[in-house]
């Protein structure tokens, strides 16, 4: 089994992990009621998604 001869430095380890950070979720605005919502999600305010109303929301 292959075993590393020397320990990787912290700098090299951090370079390898540079892309592992969590990114914030994308926020978009509903075209019907203009409330902020995550992308690719039914609007929690009006139930609108992809040009039609999918969920009837009680007012």
Q: Are 41 and 55 in contact (CB under 8 A)?
A: no
Residue 57 pLDDT: 78
Res. 59: pLDDT tops 70:
no
pTM of the complete model beyond 0.95? no
Whether residue 46 is predicted with pLDDT greater than 70 in this model: the reply is yes
Query: For residue 53, what pLDDT band results from cuts at 50, 70 and 90?
Result: confident
Instruction: Report the C-alpha gap between 56 and 20 in whole angstroms.
Output: 39
* pLDDT per position as a tens digit, 8-42: 999 999 999 999 999 998 999 999 999 999 999 99
């Amino acid at each position: 089994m292959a075993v590393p001869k020397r320990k990787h430095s912290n700098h090299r380890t951090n370079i390898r992990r540079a892309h592992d950070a969590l990114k914030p979720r994308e926020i978009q605005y509903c075209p019907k009621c203009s409330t902020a919502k995550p992308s690719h999600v039914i609007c929690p305010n009006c139930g609108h998604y992809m040009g039609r109303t999918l969920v009837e929301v009680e007012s």
